[in-house]
Amino acid sequence: MKRLLVFRFSAMGDVAMTVPILYSLVKQYPELQITIVSRAAFQPFFEQLPENISFVAADLYGKHKGIRGLYRLYRELHEMKFDAVADLHNVLRTFFLRWCFRLSGIPVEHFNKDRKAKKALTRQKNKIRQPLQTTFERYTKVFNKLGFSFPHTFTSIFENQNPPASTLSAYTDSKENQHWIGIAPFAKHIGKTYPLEKMEQVVNELSRHENYRIFLFGGGVQELEILKNWEQKYPHTQTLSGKLKLNGELALIHQLEVMISMDSANMHMAFLTATPVVSIWGATHPWGGFMGWNQSPENAIQLEMPCRPCSIFGHKPCYKNDYACLNQITPQMIIEKVNFLLKN
């Protein structure tokens, strides 16, 4: 087997989690040619990987939209003559694509979401409180079923070379004698988002240190307004949101000594660059399988409560209506963990 096709269209964090597995796979099988198909926005995740990993952008809202568009994508990919297909997404779109490849006689394996185990972990009553397989392990199993066996050897997308200094020079000063800290205070769902008034206290306290430089991460219009407000209120604080593209953000995260993040894409972007993360967990839990690659569980800020986790993705409303799992985490818990990491 020489040519392998891989699908993972979204979300950003899940796509990032394919990187350590694909890297480890081609290190074990250097003759293997892998093509990963995903959204164009995620291509920077793969640009620093070995040359035998290539990227194809799926235009799912343009020429590859709907059944006709997906069939067009299949025909484009089929011409590349793959020996096997690994579906790391297992949604309706990839179900259709792998069905097409299977009909053409190409071996196909897909990602097992294990919804039954996730439901048992998150239900209100009679929870089965035990760690699930990680997403990394589930991805690896797909390749195992295709006949590949390999150790996990990934460390960083910048393992062999640092990003060009010019990527950040227009936006940042020299790092000399400074501790660079990243703060990504947002997440897609409220069940994963630390209260902003509490996170502002974290920013306020950390910004008092003369040798700390704080970089704020966020993307939406409302998020940017909040970050700009914090930037103006607190010294040594800067937001580059809207100024850097994804490859620039990865280059900046690579320079950080620690990233404070929710259970969100920023946590996974940090592990791609081997940057330690202080992760904050509320409705979700590392046991759900989404802890960052090689991230220390000791750096996860969370409260053990009988109702946790109540969700795998953080999208379900708190049935107690108080989000105590997040509200009872104090800013000082986060600050102390950051200071500990910077001193050790």
Boundaries of every domain in the chain: 3-145, 177-343
- What pLDDT, on the 0 to 100 scale, is given for residue 170? 65
**pLDDT digit string, tens, across residues 30-57:** 999 999 999 999 999 999 999 999 999 9
- What pLDDT, on the 0 to 100 scale, is given for residue 176? 81
Residue identified by tokens 């196909």 is: 108
- What pLDDT, on the 0 to 100 scale, is given for residue 94? 98
Q: Is-same-fold flag (3-145; 177-343)?
A: yes
What is the C-alpha separation between 204 and 335, in angstroms, rounded? Answer: 10
What is the C-alpha separation between 45 and 267, in angstroms, rounded? Answer: 14
For residue 309, is the peptide bond before it cis, meaning its omega torsion is within 30 degrees of 0?
yes
Q: Is pLDDT at 11 greater than 80 in this prediction?
A: yes
Q: How many CB atoms lie within 10 A of CB 151?
A: 9
Q: Is pLDDT at 171 greater than 80 in this prediction?
A: no
Query: Is 262 in a helix, a strand, or coil?
Result: strand
φ, ψ at 181 (rounded to 5°): -125, 135
Q: Secondary structure of the chain: what % helix, strand, coil (to 5)?
A: 40, 15, 45
Q: Is the dihedral of CA 130, 136, 141, 147 positive or negative?
A: negative
- Percentage of residues in the chain with pLDDT exceeding 90? 92
Q: How confident is the model at residue 340 (pLDDT cuts 50, 70, 90)?
A: very high
Of 168, 153, 151, 161, whose CA–CA distance to 48 is shortest? 161
Q: Where are the beta strands (DSSP E) in 197-313?
A: 212-216, 237-239, 258-262, 277-280, 300-301
The overall pTM is greater than 0.75: yes
Q: How confident is the model at residue 242 (pLDDT cuts 50, 70, 90)?
A: confident
Q: Is pLDDT at 177 greater than 90 in this prediction?
A: no
Tell the CATH topology of 177-343. Rossmann fold (3.40.50)
Q: Is pLDDT at 1 greater than 90 in this prediction?
A: no
Query: Is 137 in a helix, a strand, or coil?
Result: helix
**pLDDT digit string, tens, across residues 127-164:** 999 999 999 999 999 999 999 999 999 999 999 888 87
Beta bridge partners of 5: 35, 85
- What pLDDT, on the 0 to 100 scale, is given for residue 221? 87
Alpha carbon 59 to chain centroid, angstroms: 21
Q: Where are the beta strands (DSSP E) in the chain?
A: 3-7, 33-38, 53-57, 84-87, 108-110, 179-184, 212-216, 237-239, 258-262, 277-280, 300-301
Residue 280, CA atoms < 13 Å, CB-side half-sphere: 33
Determine contact, residues 291/300, Cβ cutoff 8 Å.
yes
Query: Is 313 in a helix, a strand, or coil?
Result: coil
What is the C-alpha separation between 320 and 330, in angstroms, rounded? Answer: 20
**pLDDT digit string, tens, across residues 265-301:** 999 999 999 999 999 999 999 999 999 999 999 999 9
The CATH homologous superfamily of the domain defined by 3-145 = Glycogen Phosphorylase B; (3.40.50.2000)
What is the C-alpha separation between 97 and 72, in angstroms, rounded? Answer: 10
Spatial CB neighbours of 64, under 8 Å, sequence gap ≥ 6: 58, 70, 72, 73
